[in-house]
Structure 1
Amino acid sequence: MAELTTEAEPEEGGPKEDRHFVTALARGLAVLACFGRGRRMLANHDIAEACGLPRSTVSRLTYTLTKLGYLQFVEESGKYALGAQTIALGSMALGGLDVRHIARPALRAVAQAANASVGLGVRDRLSMRYVDCQRGPAAISLNLDIGSRISLARSAMGRAYIAVCSDRERTALYEELKAYDPLAWPALRTGLDRAVEEHREIGCCTSFGEWQTTVSAIAVGFHPGGGLPPMSINCGAPTVITDARFLMDVARPKLIEAVRGLEGVMGT
């Protein structure tokens, strides 16, 4: 399996001038978001560096989260790990996404036909979060699984989400992305505008070496209904085994057909 890691993503996006925005809550959630694949145990200084917060603030946050059961302190290492409350909360959230179970056969079929990895994702602030993943028979595949986070702006999955979200949400996301990295924003904006048009014209968004130089991917966004937010499904693989032309000519029609069958599947 190809060892391809996810990139760091902005964790907080709450406008400081918004009087309804609870900064302490946002910081606590940012602490929990630090944990994931490859970061299962973290010390206070690790969390402080990841969140950009003073160690004294992080110390109070980890103490509170530990008291509530969302973190647990591992004495042998002097570090924190996710607690039972966080795991239970995550399990309940995923359990509520019945669309995962409905979509799984379609994801599996596309993965087998395209000999690639196929993932179902939802937006997580300025990232996309995998909630399901199926792989084809290829010996080399992307090192992504349920819970992995990838770029919202540079990945095909993220671009497909932006292509189908509301104009209001898209505008707000553009503002957050611009504020997070003003220097990179002009190029990102050009790519995102192109992706929205691409989704409208050819039925999918692409990312050929733009998220990671060794990865090619396409994705289609859709509205599952049932009060759920938009989602997107991608199909990708390392460029050493799958090139852009194969994805466009062979995988794209199969992916579009699969996603069409999921549009509004959860009802109104």
Structure 2
Amino acid sequence: MREYKVKTIRALDRGLEVLDYLHRSRNASLHDLHLATGLPKATLTRVIATLEARGLIWQRLADGAFMASHTYQPRPPQVNDENFLVEVASPILERLCQKVNWPSILAVPRLDHMEVIETNSPRSYFSHIPLGPIGFRVNMLRSATGRAYLAFCGAAEREAVLQRLRTSNEPGNYLAQRPEAVATLLEETRNRGYGIRTEDFGGHYDKTRREFNDGRDSIAVPVWAGEEVVAVVNLTWMDKVASVEQMVKKHLAQLSQATREISVRLMSHEQ
């Protein structure tokens, strides 16, 4: 290594130290960075603002965690990389929230349920409606989000999910034992173009609305990457404020536009 007879740039070194830590840790709060680097939080705030302005890092909506941008990763981002999906979707979800005020989640499929990987709830005008948190399990057959995924995913994937649900012991998956009802509700979802909750779903994975009622309702639209559904975005509101029909008329176009924008950005990075 060549030796330079000059001083290094301390400010640049600090920025690279923060960036290196975020690459290694995948995500960190301001306090995490303070503990890891020993830098004062005021200094870290300036470093973060600089890195974010250059597109080197970004901040997750759900919990405010900072993450290294995939734009500068050593390999091209992939549409099946969930951190990349969140990075692409977060600013779009924030703009959606500004337009409609009500909060949304971004969820992806797991073996037998959907999982929340991002939410704009903290930025919502109605921030008292907490959605998520990250990692929250969403019922596949009774939620708007799960129905939107199952209705539009590939046939082989759909049958694999339904098979897992049919053998499940969880009370919330009871619908899987009624194949004709499932086929009907999924066909209705495809014809409608978006998912809605079942009447007995109050937000709890297993309990009925009579047992647990979050007082909300939702609609959900899939996010496509080419011909594959990779995620779902929903829109949630207090059910006493508006009916599903009213929210569809008022905000479905904006929700659908947001999912299309996420899809376009995903595919533009893939090419």
Same fold by TM-score, threshold 0.5 exceeded? yes
- State whether structure 2 residue 96 is matched by structure 1 residue 110: yes
Name the CA shift for 1:188/1:109 in 2 (closer, same or farther; >3 Å).
Answer: farther
TM-align CA RMSD: 3.3
CA distance in 2, matches of 1:139, 1:264: 28
Residue pair 1:99, 1:224 contacting (<8 A) in 2 also: no
CA distance in 1, matches of 2:107, 2:178: 20
Name the CA shift for 1:194/1:104 in 2 (closer, same or farther; >3 Å).
Answer: farther
Q: Residues 84-130 of structure 1: CA distance to partner in whole angstroms, max 9, x if unpaired?
A: xxxxxxxxxx9852121211222122223332221110112211111
Name the CA shift for 1:139/1:259 in 2 (closer, same or farther; >3 Å).
Answer: closer
Matched with 1:221 is 222
Name the CA shift for 1:168/1:186 in 2 (closer, same or farther; >3 Å).
Answer: closer
* Aligned with residue 193 of structure 2, among 175, 187, 203: 203
* Correspondence 1:35-54 to 2 at 5 A: none
Name the CA shift for 1:176/1:145 in 2 (closer, same or farther; >3 Å).
Answer: same
Matched with 1:80 is none
Q: CA deviation at 1:167?
A: 0.2
Residue pair 1:110, 1:251 contacting (<8 A) in 2 also: no
- Describe the SS at the equivalent of 2:125: coil
Amino acid at match of 2:221: V
Q: CA deviation at 1:235?
A: 0.7
Residue pair 2:176, 2:182 contacting (<8 A) in 1 also: no
- State whether structure 2 residue 112 is matched by structure 1 residue 126: yes
Q: CA deviation at 1:242?
A: 4.0
Q: CA deviation at 1:232?
A: 0.7
- Describe the SS at the equivalent of 2:251: helix
* Correspondence 1:146-157 to 2 at 5 A: 146-157=134-145
* Aligned with residue 138 of structure 1, among 121, 126, 132: 126
- Describe the SS at the equivalent of 2:109: strand
Matched with 2:71 is none
Amino acid at match of 1:122: V
How many pairs were matched up? 177
Which structure exhibits the higher relative contact order, with contacts defined as CA atoms closer than 8 Å and separated by 6 or more residues? Answer: 1
- State whether structure 2 residue 85 is matched by structure 1 residue 99: yes
Amino acid at match of 1:204: Y
Q: Which protein has the larger Cα radius of gyration, Structure 1 or Structure 2?
A: 2
CA distance in 2, matches of 1:260, 1:195: 24
Q: Residues 12-54 of structure 1: CA distance to partner in whole angstroms, max 9, x if unpaired?
A: xxxxxxxxxxxxxxxxxxxxxxxxxxxxxxxxxxxxxxxxxxx
Q: CA deviation at 1:153?
A: 1.2
Amino acid at match of 1:253: A
CA distance in 2, matches of 1:96, 1:139: 25
Residue pair 1:107, 1:134 contacting (<8 A) in 2 also: yes
Matched with 1:184 is 174
Matched with 1:233 is 233
* Correspondence 1:67-106 to 2 at 5 A: 97-106=83-92
CA distance in 1, matches of 2:254, 2:109: 23
Matched with 1:6 is none
Deviates more, 1:122-131 or 1:256-265: 256-265
CA distance in 1, matches of 2:264, 2:110: 21
Q: Percent identity?
A: 21
Name the CA shift for 1:125/1:106 in 2 (closer, same or farther; >3 Å).
Answer: same
Q: CA deviation at 1:207?
A: 1.1
